[in-house]
Amino acid sequence: MNKQVLLQDLGTKDYKETWDYQELLFQQTLDLKIRNRREETQRPTPNHFLFVEHPHVFTLGKSGDLTNLLIDEQQLKEKRATFYNINRGGDITYHGPGQIVGYPILDLDNFFTDIHKYLRLLEEMVILTLADYGLKAERSKGETGVWLDVGTPFARKICAMGVRASRWVTMHGFALNVNADLGYFDLMIPCGIKDKAVTSLNVELGKREVDMDEVKQKLLKHFEMLFEASILKDKEGV
């Protein structure tokens, strides 16, 4: 099993352009798996991990409700935001500057074939990272993602998640609010959940700005430990 994961930090990149690149890597891995099965070969399948920061964008998952977006097309333009229907699970999500978005494109045959476990480990990666900053983050029963003050009137979400998988190959991933403009979350009903707030790491720490690269390094450290993987930097990118 190949537990090496190629890391690419794409910087700031358009959502659709990044989605197309995800689809390319995803399809290449699927095609290799299919060829291996057809030709009875064992060529190792790759694993990828993309970091990216998107311009303002709202995305709606397959099971989402468009009424959870609270602004119209003209207002989207005024906010310099875009909107996409996409093929992950979950409802509506916002991405934007100050948010670390991670897209692991993994062949889970290299790790474990369990989507539930995969999601829980991604959550644990974020929970451990936030603990490094002195925050007690948790899961909220029945709600994918990472939260603070679960079970209280002050419950608030700090990291959203949504994945797609085919033949145990994953795409999409997580969005961790680090220095996010929380005003954009008021333009939707986040993940279709009406009664809980959204927060960002800098708000919780009482800081104007948190070092994004430092947070990425902590996420990768915990990812390597939880997935028993080795992160390798891929210099090619897109």
For 96-107, b where at least 16 C-beta lie within 10 A, e where not — what string? bebbbbbbbbbb
Measured N-to-C along each axis, helices 115-132 and 212-227 cross at an angle, to the nearest 10 degrees, of 140
To which residue do tokens 């070092």 refer? 211
Structural tokens at position 115: 């989507």
| Cα–Cα distance measured from residue 231 to residue 6, given in angstroms and rounded to the nearest whole number | 6
Q: Alpha-carbon torsion 141, 56, 175, 85, what sign?
A: positive
Spatial distance between the Cα atoms of 36 and 42, rounded to a whole number of angstroms: 6
Decide the pairing of beta strands 230-233 and 4-12. parallel
Sign of the C-alpha dihedral computed for residues 185, 186, 187 and 193 taken in this order: positive
Instruction: Determine the longest span between alpha carbons in the chain, in angstroms.
Output: 57
Q: What are phi and psi of 10, to 5 degrees?
A: -85, 0
Active-site positions? 191
What ranges make up the beta strands (E) of 142-224?
143-148, 156-166, 169-177, 197-198
